[in-house]
Structure 1
Amino acid sequence: MPKHAPEQRYLLIGFLLVLLGALGFAAKAILIKLAYAVSPDVDALALISLRMLFSLPFFLLASVWHNRKQSKEESSLTAKQWFLVGLLGLMGYYFASYLDFLGLQYISAGLERMILFLYPTFVAVFSALFNKRAINSRTLIALSLSYAGMALVFIEHLSWETDAVWLGSGLVLGSSVIFAFFVMGSAMMTRTMGSGRFTAYSMSIACVVTISHFVAARGIEFWHLPVEVYRLAFIMAVFSTVLPSFFLNAGIRRIGAGSASIVSTTGPIITLVLAHFLLDEAITQTQLLGTALVLIGVYVVSRAKA
């Protein structure tokens, strides 16, 4: 066997892990739309709370595991670090997720995924503003392509749907902006505490806060919905929340953030295909063109950032 065969296998596993993570995240919007279609009693708060309720045991177990394997070189988190982990967890997995779930009550899964996938462009813009540095011409062209592609897709959806598309798109855009801030903050935290540990802790906190929100608003009655809703929520928790989070982290460790960003661009394409076959959402030439422009722009920005 050639000496480089183990290394190739290691990289191949990394690519597969990132691809599986992208597939899981891409399926989330489809599962949400399917759950909304089951019963009019299903809303964003109920669905995101069920998702977090089913996810919490997995992330608590991961948190315990990370504590047990913590080496002597890894010091315990300070009060400031715990605050930042909690704040970022709420930003990325509570506020951003809640806005995303709300938005999907009004717009298609394909449009939602396109808007959400713009977050790397917001990271590039915000990073330039905070660091007081100019955006180079290559990144400017990439940003222009992404926003032009998004405009094409959005304008086409305006011709299909009611005024609710403005509300839904605005909610998902807010989610994308908040998630961009989360990504910027999490990049700093993962350097000091590791990506797996950060994911386990921040997701556990977000799960507890989301469930507490539901209990404060509606009490402890979680079991008044059709069985199909719980089945979809459990699938979403396991295959579109828990596993993708750790698959992506493991994949990035093997192939690097730059290569992972390339593989992750398959996400919106997967969502479009799944939405077409499972939700009967149309795929048009304008939508394909807009999607291609967004993906090209995000790819260039992500490579430059990496």
Structure 2
Amino acid sequence: MVRYILMVLGGAVSFGILSSFVKLAYQHGYNTAQISFLQALIGAIVLWVVFVISKKPAAHRKQIPMLLMTGATIGIATFLYYLSVEFIPASLAIVILMQFTWIGMLIEWVLFKKKPSYSELLIAAVILFGTCMASGISFTDGASLPLKGILIVLAASLVYAIYIVANSRIGRDICWQNKSAWIMTGAATAIWMMNLQSISYHLLMEIDLLRWCIFLAFFGTILPPILFAIGIPKVGATVSSLLMTIELPVAALSAHFILGEAITELQLTGIAIMLIAIMTMNFIRSARQKKETMTVY
């Protein structure tokens, strides 16, 4: 069991370090479109190879459009998240991105009439309170931060929440190898279509850019899906959700140690509050799902 727990943790840690290395790639002269597209493309190619080797059954052709659309959402979310760190600190970007936890709850409420409990609404408020602390923004320095960057990462959080809701409802009967390959194909296609004019195709073949994107693809679009696919079924969805919250402190600490971004005790306290609130929300959701399942049977 310890091995599978470490797999889930490893996948979450991989996600957590991405924004810091994306920001380093920016320092080498590359832009968001090039990095996000090439990362998704490399990930899609590798995942298709994994699927072919696995010899698992393929998805039905009627399922493919929805899988591609699901992939488009994670592609757009990734692009927007990477774009936001051009304007704001990586440690702030991840804190705002984590708002997908309660945004997803609202989406399910509006679209699927899955009304949240009072405790879930309270926890959502606590997450927002923790976000204010973890952001490290005061009334005096908040105005100096580009509003553009904050709005971009808020949009990324919204689209990421849509991806999670869609991914949880679409293609449940499809093997993870094929599902991941189609989703990443949709992600690469969406990023390409959004940046037709800004992607320099001759630059995509630069060895240095390829090195950066192979690294980012490995830790962002190849390793986590494989680790999650193996580890989550063994550990369980509830425990996995709790383990995956490690992405938040890992991203903040990576930004501190790799990029030299300042992190205060107030921010650490805010991160801790957010983690506790997110874990509590996952416990409540799991308990409600079990209760609904027992009622059905």
Match of 1:17 in 2: 7
**1:125/1:273 CA distance change after superposition, 3 Å:** same
**1:219/1:26 CA distance change after superposition, 3 Å:** closer
Match of 2:291 in 1: none
Preserved CA contact (<8 Å) 1:60 1:204:
no
Match of 1:266 in 2: 246
CA–CA distance in 2 between the matches of 1:63 and 1:51? 18
Match of 2:293 in 1: none
Q: 1:51 aligns with which of 25, 28, 39?
A: 39
Percent of matched pairs sharing the same residue: 22
Map of 1:109-258 to 2, 5 A cutoff?
Answer: 109-154=90-135, 156=137, 159-160=140-141, 163-211=144-192, 214=195, 217-218=198-199, 220-223=201-204, 228-258=208-238
RMSD, aligned α-carbons: 2.3
Match of 2:24 in 1: 34
Shift of 1:69: 2.3
**1:134/1:239 CA distance change after superposition, 3 Å:** closer
SS in 2 for 1:193: coil
Preserved CA contact (<8 Å) 1:156 1:286:
no
Match of 1:6 in 2: none
1:69 maps to 2:51: no
CA–CA distance in 2 between the matches of 1:223 and 1:181? 29
Range that drifts further, 295-304 or 175-184: 295-304
CA–CA distance in 1 between the matches of 2:257 and 2:200? 37
**1:132/1:214 CA distance change after superposition, 3 Å:** closer
- How many residue pairs were aligned? 286
Shift of 1:283: 1.2
CA–CA distance in 2 between the matches of 1:208 and 1:186? 17
Any idea what the Cα deviations from partners look like across 1:141-200, whole Å, max 9, x if unmatched? Answer: 211110111122346267446644321121111111111111111111242214343112
SS in 2 for 1:192: coil
Preserved CA contact (<8 Å) 2:81 2:156:
yes
CA–CA distance in 1 between the matches of 2:52 and 2:188? 16
Any idea what the Cα deviations from partners look like across 1:61-120, whole Å, max 9, x if unmatched? Answer: 123235x222xxxx74142x111101111011x211111111111111111111112212
Preserved CA contact (<8 Å) 2:44 2:181:
no
SS in 2 for 1:297: helix
CA–CA distance in 2 between the matches of 1:158 and 1:33? 26
Preserved CA contact (<8 Å) 1:35 1:232:
yes
Letter in 1 for 2:32: A
CA–CA distance in 2 between the matches of 1:217 and 1:38? 17
